[in-house]
Amino acid sequence: MRTRVRVPELMDDPALDAAAHDHALAGLARLNAWSRSHRLLWSGIARQARAVNATGRALRVVDIATGSADAPVAMAARARREGLRIDWTLCDASSHALEVAAERAHAAGVVATTLEANAVAAPLPCEGDVVICSLFLHHCDPDDATRVLAHMAAAATRAVGVTDLDRTRQGLALAWIGSRALSRSPIVHFDALASVRAAFTRDEIAAIARAAGLAEVSVRAAWPARWTLWWSRA
Which of residues 28 and 17 earns the better pLDDT score?
A: 17
Domain total in the chain: 1
Inside any domain, residue 5: no
**Rounded mean pLDDT of 110-120?**
97
Q: How confident is the model at residue 2 (pLDDT cuts 50, 70, 90)?
A: confident
Domain range for 228 is 10-232
121: domain CATH number?
3.40.50.150
The answer to whether residue 3 sits within a structural domain is no
**Is residue 119 in some structural domain?**
yes
Over residues 212-221, the pLDDT tens digits come to: 999 999 999 9
* pLDDT class of 27 with cuts at 50, 70, 90: confident
Does position 107 have pLDDT exceeding 80, yes or no? yes
The reply to whether 214 falls in a domain is yes
Beta bridge partners of 221: 227
pLDDT at 203: 96
Per residue in 167-204, pLDDT tens?
Answer: 999 999 988 998 999 899 999 999 999 999 999 999 99
pLDDT at 12: 79
The verdict on residue 17 lying in a domain is: yes
* 122 within a domain of the structure (yes/no): yes
27 occurs within a structural domain: yes
Q: Would residue 2 count as lying in a domain?
A: no
Over range 56-74, report the average pLDDT.
95
